[in-house]
Structures are given as C-alpha cells and as structure tokens.
C-alpha cells in the first residue's frame, strides 16, 4: 500500500508530499465548510487522481500529522496492492431516515469478503446511533465499521459530505474495503472525568433529552454550567458532555455531546440516543487527561495493523469538536500524543467531528461516540 | 509535575512562535501576542471551569450533609456519634430528648464522660445511686468495648436499651431505644403467665428452645424448670411426630387447637394435647407463647365412639343392598354407600334430614325414578302407618331392576333395603329369549325336524319344513302316529325305524324313498336319535329328515351335462372319446373292424353370420335330428361347433361306412325350413377305418379329419375315405403356408394385369392380379395361396403390397386408364385401410378416381357397419368401389341398397353358362337391367367367346373382362395399351 499526503492552502494551492506516478485508488480530504462548499477542491483532487475514488467532508478543524489547522484542506491519497474498494452514498434529508440510510449503504457495500467500512456522514441531519444500527444490521457485527460525522466548526449550521462528487449537505458516504489483504485497526477513547451525582434519564425522545431525575434537563444543565457558560450554550455544552449507560450494563458507557438546545421547551438535543431509564452523569475535560485518552485510542488502533511490516500505513483520526473547543491551541497535545503512539511511519490525517463512529472498546459493538478520539488504521498485509 | 507542565508550555510557546513566524523567519509579534493571549484565555477558562465544578461539588456535599442531619432527626431512636477522643460529633433530637436532664451538657466537642458526670450529679441514673464512681468506671469501660449492648434505667421508671459500636476511625456510634413500654408489658405478662393454671411456655421461634415455662407446665409434664430451659419444643414430641412438627414450624403457621399433638411427659407417658400459640417478642427475641390443653381423656372416649361408628359404617357400606332409614316424619336418618351408588345420588341433597319427598324428587331429577312421586310416597306411608312390611320391584329408566323392601321400625320410622336384581332379571329374560330363539331356529331350519314320543311313537313336534315335507299341516300330525298320517307302507317303514332307534339306543342314519301324502315319492335321508329320561330310558325320538330328491335329480342332470352337448343333447367330445376307446378295445379283442365318420357342415359360419345364432342353433338341432335318423343306431356325437362324428361299429367295413355316409348325405342334404327361412345345409364327410387307417383313437380321428379336409377342398358335399397321401398333402399345405409368409421379402410376388374393356372393345382399365412364383414349385395359383394367406393373416401385407404396386404401375401409364385392385376381408379387419389407400395415392400420385377397389360380399358379412364405414371413407378419398362376384352370395341385393357402389361385377359362373343355361342368361339379363335402373355400370367377368360377348352386347352390358379381351399378363404385354413403347416379343404374347 502507498500513502501520499496532500494539502491545500490558500496562498500555495495544493502541495503533495511526493509526485509519484503510482496508481491512486482512494483519496480522503477534509476542510472547513467554507473551503469545500464550491466544489473546487474536489475538482482539483479529481484532476490529480482521475482514477481514484474521492471522499471527504467538512470539519471542525483538520488534523495532519502533529498539526491542527482551520485554514488548510488536508488529504491523503491511497494506492492499494491487493485490496478492492467500493464507495457508496445515500442522501439523507431527515434524521428519521437514519436507520434506512444505514441499511441502504450496507446493502450497497455488502459482500462476502467485505473487511471494513469507513463512513462519513452529515453531522446535523442524522441520528448517528440509528445510522450505525442500520449499517450493522446489514453487514453484521464482524465487519470493522469506523468513521465520523462531518463538522462545521463551532457554527452548527451546515455540514457537507461528498463521495465522487462535490461535497453537499444531507449526504452519507462510505467506502468499503474488501479481501484478505487489508488490515484495519481501530481505537476509541475519551479521557473525560465524571462529576456530580449520577442521575436517571426520566424523559427523552430519541436523541432529545427532556428530563433528568424528573427535572427539566436544560434547567439542571444551566445550573451546573453556571451563568457564564450557560449563556454560551449549545457551544459550551460541548465542554460538558453527558456520560450515559444502561443500568444493566454498567461498563458500557457512552458519551453524548450536545448538538442543540431548546430554551423554550427546556430540552437538549444530543448527537445520539439517550434511552429513558439509563443513568447519566455530567463530565468535564482536563487537557492532560484528554491527551492521554487520544494516546490510548492510537495504541488500540495500532495493534490492529501490527502484522503489517512493509508498505505504508495511514491513520485516520476523528476527534470530537468538543475536545478541540475545550483545548483550544492545546488540541495539538492530543494529536501529538496519538502520534507518539502510532510512530513516525504511519501518516496521520483526520478531522474534528460532530460524532465518532467506532466499535466500543469494551463490547466491540460499533456505536456512535461523542467526545472521543477515534483512530482508524489502514494497511495491507504483505 | 511542575516540570512536565513547564515542558508542555514551552512546547506550546515554540509552536506559537513557529506559527507567528513568516517564511522569511520574521516573527509577527502581534500574532504571537494574540496566540499567547488566546492560550492564556483557554487556560483561564479551563481553570474557571475547574473552580466551577469544585464549587458545585462542595455545594452538593453541603446539601448532602444537611439531608443527613434532617434524616438523623427523623429517626425514632436516639443517635450519637463520638470521635476517637469520646467527644460529641453529632447527635439527634431524640438523643437530646432521652437525656433531657443533661441536655445542656451535650455539645459539639463535649466529652461523653463529662456528660455522664453531669447526669450522675443530677441523679439521672437511679441504679448508680451511692456507687457513682464505680458505676461510671464500668459504664466507660463498656462504652470503650468494640460493641456494647445494655439496658439503662432512667428516672420515672423509664428504660432505655443502649447499643454501642466502635467505628473505623476510632470513634463510636451510639443508639438509644426507649423500651419502657415493653418492659411494662413483660412484667404484666409474667404475672399472668407464672400463676396461670393453664400450662404455658414461651419458646424461641428460631431455636425452639424453651425460654420460659409456667408452674402449671412443670406440674403437668414432670420436668423441672431447669430441665425445660435446656430442652427445645421438639424434644417433647415423640420421634414419629417430629417431622410433622418441623413442617409446621417451617411453614410459619401457628397451632390454633386444630391439631392434636402427642407430648411425652418426664415419666415417658404420652399425652394428647391441643396447642394455642401466639407470636410475641420476649426479651428482645422473636418468641412464641404456647398454651397447652390436655385432651388425652376426651380423645380416647371420642376414639372409641368413632371406632364403633366406623365399624357400623363399614358394615353398612359393604352391604350389597342399598339401605336407607327414615324417621317417623319420613326424614332420612342414615343411608349407606351402596344406596348412593345405586341411584347415583348427590350427597349434597341426600343427607340426614332430607325428606322422602325431596329424595324421590332428586331421584326423578337424576332420571332414575319415573313413577308418580306423590302416589309412591302415599303408598309407603300407608304401609308404614299399618305397621306393614311391603316390597315392590322397580324398573329403573336405565334398564335396571331394583327390589325394595320397606320394614317399619318400633320407633315409628322405617328401613328400606334396595336390592339390584337386574342380573337375575336378565338371566330370566335371556333364558326366555334363548328358548324363543331356539324355537325360531327349529321352526325355520330348512330341514325336517320331528320329535316323537318314544313309547307310543306319536308326533310331539313337527317344524315347518316337516309340514312341507309331508305335505300335511302340523295340526293334523301332532298327537298322532305315523299310521294315522302316512300311507301304510310308508308308515310301516317309519315305525320300524323308530322302533329300531329305541331298541338300539343309538343314533340311526338311513336313506330311503318315502311316499308322502302331499308330495308323492321323495328321496330322503333321516337321522334319528333317542333322547333319554333321567332313568336312561328313551323318552323322545328326535328325527332330522333331509329331503334330497332335488339334489339327486340335479346330480343326474349334471352327470348328463358332463357328457352331453347342451344344445343338441348329443354326446360331446369327451363322451365320444370314451366311446371310441371302448369300441377300439372291443374291436381289438374281437379282431373286428369299425369306421370313424367325421362330418363338418359346409358354410355353417355364413349361416350364423347372415341369419344369426338363433337360426344357426335351430339349424344344428334340425340337422342333429336328421343325423340321428340317418345314423340308424350308430353312435353319434357333436364334437363342437358344426363338427359331428359317428362310430359305425356294426357290419363289414368299409361297405357299412359307405352306405351310412351316403345315407347321411342324402337325408341331410334336403332343404329345411327353420324359423321361416328355407335353408339347405351341405355336408363334407371324411372316413377312417380301423385298423387299416389307424389303430389308436387319436390317429383314427386325425385321419378321419384329414379325409374331411380333403373332401372340403375338393368340393363341398362330398365323402372322402382316408388315403395315406392325404396326410402328406395336409403337411404339404402347411409348408406352403410357411413359404408364403416369406414370399414378399423374397420378392416372389408379382402382379399381372387383365384388361377391362367397354362392350365396343375399347380398353378402359386393368384388374391387377397377384401371382406367386414359388422357388421350387413354380407358379402357385391364387386359388391355392389366397386362402392360405387369408388363413395366416399374411393377406394384409400381400394386399398392401398389391395395392401399392398396382397404383405405382398405373400412375406410370401415359393413358389415364382405370386400375382395379381386390381387397380381402382380412384387410378390412386389420389396420387402417382408408389410411393406407390415402397414403398410397399420395405416394404414387395416382388420381383417386382411377383406382377401383373390388370387394366381395364376404367383406360385408362379418362386421357390416364397420365395413360400410370403411367403404364410405374409401369412397370419400375419391376411389371407385366395385361389388365383385355379384350374385353368388345370399343377399347381394340388400348390400346394393346399403352402400352406393360404383360398379357391379357379374360372377364368371353366370357368364360361362350364359349360352348353355337359360337361368344364367336370365340372371345376367336381370343384373344388367338392375345396374341400368340403378345407374350403375355392370362388368361381365369371364368373357371367353364371341357368343358371350354378343349376348352381353345385346343386353347392353357396359363392360367386359375375360380371355376374349385379354388374359392376365405382366404389364409389359400391354405396353401399347397403356401408352408405352412395345417390345416385339411381348406383343406376341399379348396377342397370342
């Protein structure tokens, strides 16, 4: 497998780490909504790699090696020796269609030798949990399924996804990797600390949280955040995610990030389901703990490709926008921490997302995560 | 830690500088400031968030603490928490209330010991009075123990239970429970308990140990108080009751006098007791207070009565009769199990106190009482009032019979016993039915059954078959002797047999003729047997007479049928064979000669076909009659069908045979009138003579058959005697038939064509004629091979070949002349003739109108409707259908009516004689006239002379065929006529 990093900046245009004439099968690219919206970046990439599948999305910041940036478009071109790939995409207009959309993509990619799927989804019009459930329903739990929800900085107004076309809103795209040669590793970790009492979700509707312990969710939340932070909702909500778990499975904790709030209805919408009866506890982040979490995720992902000694490898890092907002410039801490674990041979590319998709570290069942660093490593075995 | 953080900040600063440095290495200070400031803001925000969450946590903690305090005060017990130095940390309101006398001394940080001292000083611990220091030392020592539990006496006779426990941090927690009330209750309990005359005890509910026993218990059981306190409640039970006891204890239920227990006293005697228990708390333990009532004596008396009652009940319930006792008012006092079962009664209704009326109504409801309840009741009461025992038998609706006996009692009531006598009744009925059944059997058995008195031989019983047999009604036989019923000889016979049976004392079988008054002489078998009285003397004679008259007749008929032909009543083939063998034996012994004459009717099959089997059978019967006359005593048999045979054993041979055969021919040959038809039957006769023509039956008959075959082939109506070469000829004919089967594949068949001309001589067509050239015998005539072919069925293949060859030939002619082909009856019977003709026409391309298919009457005879249907289909193909040999059959004219023939062909026999026999000329004239009036062309066959031709011309016959026109020759001979180039040699043959 061959990996070539590419990136674009306004003053310099596209720059490539090498100008190999090798065949390129797949190109990923990530950039801000503003830099991708007119489709020019996509056209340029297609011109560079006319034979390649091109898949990308808008973000809350790009990760390229140790850097986190907002102004460049970061990408990677992959050439496989023995791994067939296939892309699929489905439009999604409403989050209610999420499960069906996941199933449709699953059906397009399903094959006996399907080894893994990397999925990029619209970050706002989607119920990520349902999307993942739909995909898993079709392809099964054995196939590695990772990816993330597109981002839109801290604006939360529109997210874009493109697969073999200019990126657009309301789109879910995925790439399937096939055959026995490809190796896909994955890891996911948060590093957040819980605080305050453990509460019960007493009223919710899908991913809309209405009451905790019988108290209006937003009231409770605002009280905890304090006046200053409460004013900044929903943006500041990213800094205080909820950890939830099924009381029957206490080890199976999932973190949920706030997507939006309804000040009238006093409800909060999260980037994933909050089932009634589940336990919920407020979380807060600490720079060092978050960076340690990213390192943990990288360690898990690296183990998945440990047998690939020769050839290039790539790591796709999908980290939550909440982490970036919290860490500010110190976001590079977590990217560097992941880089140390992965080692210098593995090219790193990624983005800050509105939701991460990865198997749960404890159960192995793929789910939507929030506030995590999720690392997917791809390589080919000799 | 500080180092790590500094390192991180240092790295951050390096990055910020790198970011603020442009490509030329110049640092944008403003940008660097912005970055540093922003990083500071990030850190500041993070710190604020941390502060916020810590503040929140503290807030949460305080709230929790307050809640704890609230909860503390709600607790009904007094609670106090002390630190490791024994200082008050926390206590609740109740605690303060309990120790209200020194409330002021209880304060945060105050020492427990100091509080105690204050309390002692204020006399708050009455028990410590006068020994305060010692009390305090002991109290503090107990307080210092890891765990302490004690009761504390406070002023005002209040009692407090103290529970103390050390905590992990060296402090302690104390609980105070006010037990004043329970203390008071316990005291009053003691008062009631100890002096109570009812034996009572208290046991621990968990261990079952006795916790307290009162004096009455000790007196009753004989154990001392100390012994009791070392025992459990279980120990009182004898071993066999312990399991039941454990079960009761395990169930949590409490004895409330319902169970009688056995308890063992100290002297080992067992007493029966009832227990009344109640759960309570006794000295802080879950306990149970039990009161004991000794029921030993009462139980014993009760058991005795019960035992007697059980015995009585058992006796009553095991009675085979139902028993019910009423009091003077007609109410049930008791009734037994059997009574319930007999009437399927409900115990809910029928019970002591139930009235007779209710009882009867209930029985009516269950469907087992059908009478009038009031009437029934009235009768019973009447009887009882008169102190009269009564009985009646009831038939229940389910078919049972019950015999009831009502017996009045001295006290005014009465007892009724009910006995099911169904079985007895049934047995009686069965016996009656069996008797009736036996009578019915005897009456209807198709064999005469007679019973007589063994002394005077008078008839006692005669069944219906007997009436029929004797032809005398029973009424005229019973009580009479044979001599009064039968004619003298018959009566003598019967009486003799009766007497013989009585004398011998054994069954007697006999077959005899008997003249009966009603039915004349009968053949009968009889079996007589004596029936003895108790002294072994014959009392009755049972005679079974079987009339076998009809059977004997039938046997005779069957014997006759086996050897005779049912139609003519002549001996059949099997009888003939027996006779022939017997004759042979006799002739061989006597060295005599005899003749076997084999006769076969000519054309009998046609008679059957034309006139039907009824006429055929009548002909056979008439012939048989004539043959019998002509046979003049010779043995005549019908061998089957139209075959007959005679054995002429008298007289010299062959002269006798000759004269007999001629006589047969003469007599039989005469015309006969059968069923309105005038018919003549011809015979062929073959004769074989013993011993010259054979010395065994098979050979003689076979040779007679050979001679017959010869006679038939040489012309019907003749007699032939067997000659040795006949045998050879027959075999020869068989060989020829075998060869014929191979003729087609060996290509031995050929066709010759005989011209047919208009009366003016112009040839209009040819008749195709089959010829067989045998490899060794040379040409075989059609007269020889066609019958053989018909016989073997090969005619179908030959016919097909002829048709195909002739059509193929005719199609090749330049002139469109007619081609006539003969169809045989066999072709009509087998295969698809129209299909064949159609196929051949298509194959050869011959115009259908040129094909003339010639059929004889015999085609129509065998299956008329099928033949006509085939002819219609052939005609539909376009072929011409010609009636051949017209005038030789029985009903040629009727056939003309049933099918639209295209042409009539007059048989050659008529033409041959046309100028010699006026009858023939007349027939020919008539046929030609017939043809004219029907619009049918007529062909005259066998025209050989100019005279014949002239006659036919005069009669305006349409067409002619015969040697005068041209003989049958290979077609080459007629090449010119059909429009082919002619070879000179062949022309010679044609004209020669």
Residues 176-205 (A) with a CB less than 8 A from some CB of B: 195-197
Question: Angle formed by the axes of helices B833-844 and B795-812, to 10°?
Answer: 30
- Given this model, what pLDDT does residue B862 score? 65
What is residue A364's predicted lDDT score, i.e. its pLDDT?
Answer: 75
**Closest residue, chain A, to B36 (C-alpha):** A329
pLDDT tens digits along B574-608: 889 888 899 888 888 888 889 899 988 877 777 77
The tokens of B913 are what? 């004689």
Residue A194 tokens, joined: 């819980």
Q: Which residue has the higher pLDDT, B573 or B726?
A: B573
pLDDT score at B982: 61
Confidence of residue B481 (pLDDT cuts 50, 70, 90): very high
CA distance A146 to B693: 120
Q: What is the nearest CA distance from B51 to chain A, expressed in angstroms?
A: 11
pLDDT at residue A150 in the model: 95
Nearest-Cα residue of chain B relative to residue A287? B46
Chain B residues near residue A226 by CB distance under 8 angstroms: 52
Q: How many other β-carbons are positioned within 10 Å of the β-carbon of residue B509?
A: 10
- pLDDT tens digit sequence for A33-71: 999 999 999 999 999 999 999 999 999 999 999 889 998
Tell me what pLDDT residue B989 has: 39
Q: From chain A, pick out residues whose CB is under 8 angstroms from the CB of B12.
A: 329-330, 332
- Rounded CA gap, A250 and B903, in Å? 117
Q: How far is B42 from chain A (nearest CA, A)?
A: 6
Q: What are phi and psi of B483, to 5 degrees?
A: -70, -25
Select from A69, A330, A332 the residue whose CB has the most chain B CBs within 10 Å, as the one to mutate to test that interface.
A330
Chain A residues in contact with B48 by the CB 8 A cut-off are 228
Instruction: Give the pLDDT mean for B506-512.
Output: 88
Are B15 and A329 within 8 A, CB to CB?
Answer: yes
* Residue carrying structure tokens 């018909």: B790
Q: Which residue of A has its CA nearest to B12?
A: A330
Q: What is the pLDDT of residue A78?
A: 94
Give phi and psi for B418, each to the nearest 5.
Answer: -120, 120
Burial (CB < 10 A; 0-12, 13-18, 19+), residue B570, is buried
Q: What's the pLDDT at B745?
A: 84
- Is any Cβ of chain B less than 8 angstroms from the Cβ of A14? no
pLDDT confidence of residue B185 = 79
pLDDT per residue as tens digits for the range B332-343: 888 888 888 888
Per the CB < 8 Å rule, is B42 touching A195? no
Judged against a pLDDT cut of 60, whether residue B818 lies above it is answered with: yes
A–B CB contacts, 8 A cutoff, strictly below: 41
Cis peptide before B817 (omega within 30 of 0): no
Reported as a pLDDT band with limits 50, 70 and 90, residue B890 is low
What integer pLDDT is reported at residue B1 of this predicted model?
47
Query: Can you tell me the mean pLDDT for B975-992?
Result: 59
Preferred mutation among B52, B58, B61, B62 to probe A, highest tally of A CBs within 10 A: B52
Confirm or reject contact between A224 and chain B (CB < 8 A).
yes
Per-residue pLDDT averaged across B418-432, rounded?
A: 86
Confidence band, pLDDT 50/70/90 cuts, at residue A119: very high
Nearest to A239 by CA among A258, A226, A220: A258
Q: At residue B271, does pLDDT exceed 60?
A: yes
- Say how far apart CA A350 and CA B162 lie, in whole Å: 69
Strand order in the sheet with B158-166: B88-91, B78-82, B172-178, B158-166, B147-154
More confident residue, B992 or A307: A307
- Token digits of residue B507: 């069954």
Q: Is the pLDDT of residue B986 over 50?
A: no
Say whether A224 and B56 touch across the interface (CB within 8 A). Answer: yes
Element (H, E) at B763: strand B763-774
Q: Is A284 on the interface with B (CB under 8 A)?
A: yes
Q: Are strands A258-262 and A267-270 parallel, antiparallel or unpaired?
A: antiparallel
CA distance A302 to chain B (A): 25
The DSSP symbol for B474 reads: G
* Contact between chains at B56 and A330 (C-beta distance less than 8 A): no
Q: Identify the contact set of chain B against chain A, taking CB-CB distances under 8 A.
A: 8, 12, 15-16, 35, 38-39, 41-42, 46, 48-50, 52-53, 56-57, 60
Rounded to the nearest angstrom, the minimum Cα separation between B171 and chain A is 29
| pLDDT value at residue B889 | 66
Q: Give the pLDDT confidence of A189-227 residue by residue, as tens digits.
A: 988 888 778 899 999 998 899 999 999 999 988 888 888
pLDDT(B987) > 60: no
CA B468 to chain centre: 47
Percent of chain B with pLDDT over 70: 97
CB contact under 8 A, B39 and A330: yes
Mean predicted lDDT score pLDDT of chain B: 85
Name the band, by pLDDT with cuts 50, 70 and 90, for residue B392: confident
Q: How many CA atoms lie within 13 A of B40 on its CB side?
A: 6
Q: For chain A, where are the alpha helices, taking DSSP H only?
A: 33-36, 40-48, 98-109, 128-139, 217-231, 287-303, 321-327, 331-342
Backbone φ, ψ for residue A337 (5° rounding):
-60, -40
Instruction: Give residue-wise pLDDT tens across range A11-33.
Output: 889 998 776 667 899 999 999 99
Are B290 and B277 contacting, i.e. CB atoms less than 8 angstroms apart? yes
Q: How far is B18 from chain A (nearest CA, A)?
A: 12
By C-alpha distance, the chain B residue nearest A69 is B19
Residue pointed to by tokens 């209006």:
A216
pTM: 0.41
Q: Which residue of B has its CA nearest to A328?
A: B42
The whole-number pLDDT of residue A21 equals 62
CB contact under 8 A, A330 and B16: no
> Least CB-CB distance to A329: which of B35, B48, B52?
B35
- What pLDDT, in 10s, does the model give residues B789-809? 877 778 888 999 999 999 999
Strand bridging mode B147-154 / B158-166: antiparallel
Q: Is A329 in contact with B49 (Cβ distance < 8 A)?
A: no
Q: Do A229 and B16 touch (CB under 8 A)?
A: no
Any B CB within 8 A of A330 CB: yes
Mean pLDDT of A174-182: 95
ipTM here: 0.73
How much is the average pLDDT of B764-778? 90
Three-class DSSP category at A113: coil
Query: Do A333 and B56 lie within an 8 Å CB cutoff?
Result: no
Indicate yes or no: CB of A197 within 8 angstroms of CB of B53.
no
In this predicted structure, the answer to whether residue B748 has a pLDDT above a threshold of 70 is yes
Contact B523, B549 (CB under 8 A): yes
For residues B338 and B333, give the distance between their C-alpha atoms in angstroms, rounded to a whole number.
15
Which pLDDT band, with edges at 50, 70 and 90, does B220 fall under? confident
In angstroms, the separation between the Cα of residue A328 and the nearest Cα of chain B is 6
| Residue A87 banded pLDDT, cuts 50, 70, 90 | very high
CB contact under 8 A, A195 and B12: no
Residue B622 pLDDT? 86
Give the pLDDT band (50/70/90) at residue B212. confident
What's the mean pLDDT in A285-292? 86
User: For position B648, what pLDDT does the model report?
Assistant: 86
Q: Where are the alpha helices (DSSP H) in B325-400?
A: 337-343, 356-365, 373-385
Range with lowest mean pLDDT among A108-122, A151-165, B4-18, B927-941: B4-18
pLDDT of B992 above 50: no
Max mean pLDDT range (B117-121, B323-327, B383-387, B718-722):
B117-121
Distances (CA, A) of B196 to B146, B189, B214, B255, B666: 42, 11, 7, 20, 153
Tell me what pLDDT residue B5 has. 62
The dihedral of CA A293, A297, A298, A300: what is its sign? positive
| Interface touch B39/A328, C-beta < 8 Å | yes
Cβ-Cβ contacts under 8 Å, B15 against chain A: 329, 332
pLDDT computed for residue B600 by the predictor: 85
pLDDT of residue A334 exceeding 50, the answer is: yes
- B73–chain A nearest CA distance, Å: 24
HEC profile of B129-163: CCCHHHHHHHHHHHHHCCEEEEEEEECCCEEEEEE
The average pLDDT across A140-156 equals 91
Interface test with B, best of A65, A226, A291 (most B CBs within 10 A): A226
Q: CB-CB: which of A196, A284, A330 is closest to B49? A: A284
Q: Which residues of A touch B8 (CB under 8 A)?
A: 330, 333
User: Which of B961, B715, B986 minimizes the C-alpha distance to B822?
Assistant: B961
- Comparing CA positions, the residue from B848, B849, B583 lying closest to residue B700 is B583
Taking the CA of residue A329 and the nearest CA in chain B, the distance in Å comes to 6
In degrees and rounded to multiples of 5, residue A272 shows phi and psi of: 175, 170
- Percent of chain B predicted with pLDDT > 90: 20
Which band of pLDDT confidence, cut at 50, 70 and 90, is reported for residue B400? confident
Tokens of B28: 């944008």
What whole-number distance in Å separates Cα of residue B39 and Cα of residue B55? 24
For B386-421, where are the alpha helices, taking DSSP H only?
none
CB spacing of B15 vs A332 below 8 angstroms = yes
Distinct helix (H) and strand (E) counts, chain B = 36, 36
The residue among B897 and A150 whose pLDDT is bigger is A150
Provide the pairing of β-strand B285-294 with B200-204. Answer: antiparallel
Q: How far apart are CA B942 and CA B915, in angstroms?
A: 13
């Amino acid at each position: 497998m061959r990996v070539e990093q590419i990136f674009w900046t306004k003053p310099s245009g596209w720059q490539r780490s090498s100008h190999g004439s090798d065949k390129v099968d797949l190109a990923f690219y990530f950039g801000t909504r503003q830099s991708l919206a007119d489709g020019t970046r996509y056209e340029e990439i297609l011109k560079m790699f006319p034979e390649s599948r091109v898949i990308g999305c808008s973000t809350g910041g790009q990760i390229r090696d140790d850097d986190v940036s907002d102004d460049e478009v970061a990408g990677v071109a992959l050439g496989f020796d023995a791994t067939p790939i296939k892309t699929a995409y489905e439009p999604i207009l409403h989050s209610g269609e999420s499960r069906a959309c996941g199933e449709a993509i699953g059906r397009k990619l399903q094959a006996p030798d399907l080894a893994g799927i990397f999925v990029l989804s619209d970050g706002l019009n989607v119920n990520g949990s349902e999307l993942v459930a739909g995909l898993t329903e079709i392809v099964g739990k054995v196939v590695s399924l990772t990816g993330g929800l597109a981002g839109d900085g801290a604006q939360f107004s529109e997210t874009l996804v493109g697969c073999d076309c200019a990126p657009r809103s309301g789109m879910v795209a995925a790439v399937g990797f096939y055959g026995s040669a490809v190796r896909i590793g994955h890891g996911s970790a948060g590093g957040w600390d819980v605080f305050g009492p453990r509460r019960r979700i007493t009223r919710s509707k899908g991913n809309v949280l209405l009451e905790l312990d019988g108290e209006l969710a937003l009231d409770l939340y605002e009280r905890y955040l304090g006046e200053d932070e409460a004013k900044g909702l929903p943006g500041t909500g990213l800094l205080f995610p909820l950890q939830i778990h099924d009381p029957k499975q206490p080890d199976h904790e999932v973190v949920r990030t706030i997507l939006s709030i309804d000040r009238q209805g006093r409800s909060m919408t999260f980037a994933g389901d909050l089932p009634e009866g589940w336990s919920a506890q407020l979380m807060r982040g600490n720079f060092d703990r978050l960076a340690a979490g990213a390192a943990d995720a990288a360690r898990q992902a690296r183990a998945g490709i440990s047998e690939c000694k020769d050839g290039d490898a790539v790591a796709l890092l999908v980290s939550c926008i909440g982490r970036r907002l919290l860490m500010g410039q110190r976001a590079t801490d977590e990217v560097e921490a992941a880089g140390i674990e992965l080692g210098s041979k593995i090219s790193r590319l990624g983005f800050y997302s509105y939701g991460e998709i990865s198997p749960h570290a404890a159960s192995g069942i793929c789910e939507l995560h929030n506030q995590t660093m999720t690392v997917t490593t791809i390589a080919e075995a000799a | 830690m500080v180092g790590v953080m500094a390192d991180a900040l240092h790295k951050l600063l390096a990055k910020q500088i790198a970011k603020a440095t442009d490509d030329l290495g110049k640092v944008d200070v403003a940008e660097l400031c912005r970055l540093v400031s922003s990083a500071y803001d990030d850190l500041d925000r993070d710190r604020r968030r941390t502060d916020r969450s810590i503040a929140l946590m503290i807030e949460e903690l305080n709230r929790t603490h307050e809640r704890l305090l609230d909860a503390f005060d709600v607790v009904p017990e007094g609670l106090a928490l002390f630190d490791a130095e024994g200082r008050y940390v926390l206590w609740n309101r109740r605690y303060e209330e309990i120790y209200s006398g020194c409330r002021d001394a209880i304060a945060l940080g105050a020492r427990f010991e100091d509080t105690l001292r204050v309390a002692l000083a204020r006399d708050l611990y009455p028990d410590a009075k006068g020994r305060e220091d010692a009390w305090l030392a002991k109290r503090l020592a107990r307080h210092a123990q890891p765990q302490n539990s004690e009761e504390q006496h406070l002023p005002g006779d209040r009692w407090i239970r103290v529970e103390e426990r050390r905590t992990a941090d060296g402090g302690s927690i104390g609980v105070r429970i006010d037990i004043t009330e329970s203390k008071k209750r316990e005291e009053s309990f003691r008062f009631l308990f100890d002096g109570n005359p009812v034996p009572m005890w208290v046991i621990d509910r968990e261990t079952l140990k006795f916790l307290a026993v009162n004096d009455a218990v000790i007196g009753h059981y004989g154990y001392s108080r100390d012994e009791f306190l070392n025992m459990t409640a279980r120990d009182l039970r004898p071993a066999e009751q312990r399991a039941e006891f454990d079960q009761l204890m395990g169930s949590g239920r409490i004895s409330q006098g319902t169970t009688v227990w056995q308890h063992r006293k100290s002297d080992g005697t067992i007493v029966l007791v009832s227990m009344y228990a109640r759960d309570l708390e006794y000295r802080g333990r879950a306990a149970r207070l039990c009161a004991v009532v000794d029921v030993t004596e009462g139980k014993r008396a009760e058991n005795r009565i019960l035992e007697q009652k059980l015995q009585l009940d058992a006796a009553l319930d095991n009675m085979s009769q139902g028993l019910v006792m009423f009091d003077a008012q007609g109410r049930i006092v008791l009734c037994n199990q059997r009574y319930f079962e007999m009437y399927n009664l409900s115990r809910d209704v029928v019970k002591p106190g139930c009235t007779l009326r209710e009882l009867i109504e209930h029985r009516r409801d269950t469907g087992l009482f059908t009478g009038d309840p009031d009437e029934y009741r009235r009768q019973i009461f009447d009887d009882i009032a008169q102190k009269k025992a009564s009985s009646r038998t009831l038939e229940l609706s389910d078919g049972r019979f019950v015999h009831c006996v009502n017996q009045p009692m001295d006290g005014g009531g009465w007892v009724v016993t009910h006995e099911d006598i169904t079985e007895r009744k049934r047995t009686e009925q069965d016996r009656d039915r069996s008797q009736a059944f036996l009578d019915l059997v005897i009456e209807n058995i198709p064999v005469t059954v007679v019973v007589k008195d063994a002394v005077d031989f008078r008839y006692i019983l005669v069944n219906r078959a007997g009436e029929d047999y004797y032809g005398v009604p029973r009424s005229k036989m019973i009580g009479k002797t044979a001599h009064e019923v039968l004619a003298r000889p018959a009566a003598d016979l019967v009486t003799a047999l009766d007497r013989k049976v009585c004398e011998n004392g054994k069954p007697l079988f006999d077959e005899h003729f008997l003249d009966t008054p009603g039915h004349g002489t009968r053949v009968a078998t009889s079996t007589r047997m004596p029936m003895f009285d108790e002294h072994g003397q014959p009392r009755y004679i049972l005679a079974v007479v079987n009339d076998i008259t009809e059977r004997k007749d039938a046997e005779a008929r069957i014997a006759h049928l086996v050897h005779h032909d049912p139609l003519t009543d002549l001996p059949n083939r099997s009888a003939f064979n027996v006779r022939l063998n017997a004759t042979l034996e006799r002739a061989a012994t006597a060295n005599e000669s005899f003749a076997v004459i084999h006769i076969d009717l000519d054309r009998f099959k046609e008679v059957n076909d034309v006139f039907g089997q009824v006429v055929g059978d009548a002909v056979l019967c008439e012939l048989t009659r004539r043959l019998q006359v002509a046979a003049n005593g010779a043995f005549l048999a019908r061998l089957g069908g139209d075959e007959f045979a005679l054995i002429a054993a008298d007289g010299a041979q062959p002269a006798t045979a000759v004269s007999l055969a001629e006589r047969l021919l003469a007599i039989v040959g005469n015309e006969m009138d059968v069923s309105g038809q005038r018919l003549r039957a011809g015979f062929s006769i073959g004769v074989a003579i013993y011993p010259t023509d054979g010395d065994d039956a098979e050979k003689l008959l076979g040779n007679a058959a050979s001679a017959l075959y010869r006679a038939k082939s040489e012309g019907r109506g003749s007699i032939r005697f067997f000659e040795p070469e006949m045998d050879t000829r027959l075999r020869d004919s068989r060989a020829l038939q075998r060869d014929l089967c191979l003729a087609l594949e060996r290509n031995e068949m050929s066709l010759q064509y005989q011209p047919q001309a208009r009366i003016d001589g112009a040839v209009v067509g040819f008749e195709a004629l089959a010829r067989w050239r045998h490899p060794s015998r040379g040409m075989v005539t059609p007269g020889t091979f066609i019958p053989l072919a018909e016989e073997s069925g090969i005619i179908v293949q030959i016919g097909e070949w002829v048709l195909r060859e002739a059509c193929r030939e005719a199609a090749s002619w330049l002139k469109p002349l007619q081609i006539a082909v003969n169809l045989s009856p066999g072709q009509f019977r087998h295969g698809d003739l129209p299909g064949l003709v159609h196929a051949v026409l298509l194959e050869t391309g011959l115009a259908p109108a040129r094909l003339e298919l010639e059929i004889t009457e015999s085609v129509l005879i065998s299956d008329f409707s099928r033949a006509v249907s085939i002819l219609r289909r052939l005609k539909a193909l376009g072929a011409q259908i010609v009636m051949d040999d017209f005038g030789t059959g029985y009903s040629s004219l009727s056939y003309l009516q049933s099918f639209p023939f295209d042409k009539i062909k007059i048989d050659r026999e008529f033409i041959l004689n046309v100028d010699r026999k006026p009858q023939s000329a007349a027939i020919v004239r008539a046929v030609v006239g017939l043809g004219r009036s029907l619009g049918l062309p007529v062909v005259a066959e066998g025209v050989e002379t100019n005279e014949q031709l002239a006659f036919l011309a005069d009669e305006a016959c349409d067409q002619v065929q015969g040697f005068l026109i041209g003989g049958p020759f290979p077609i080459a001979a007629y090449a010119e006529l059909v429009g082919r180039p002619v070879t000179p040699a062949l022309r010679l043959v044609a004209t020669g």
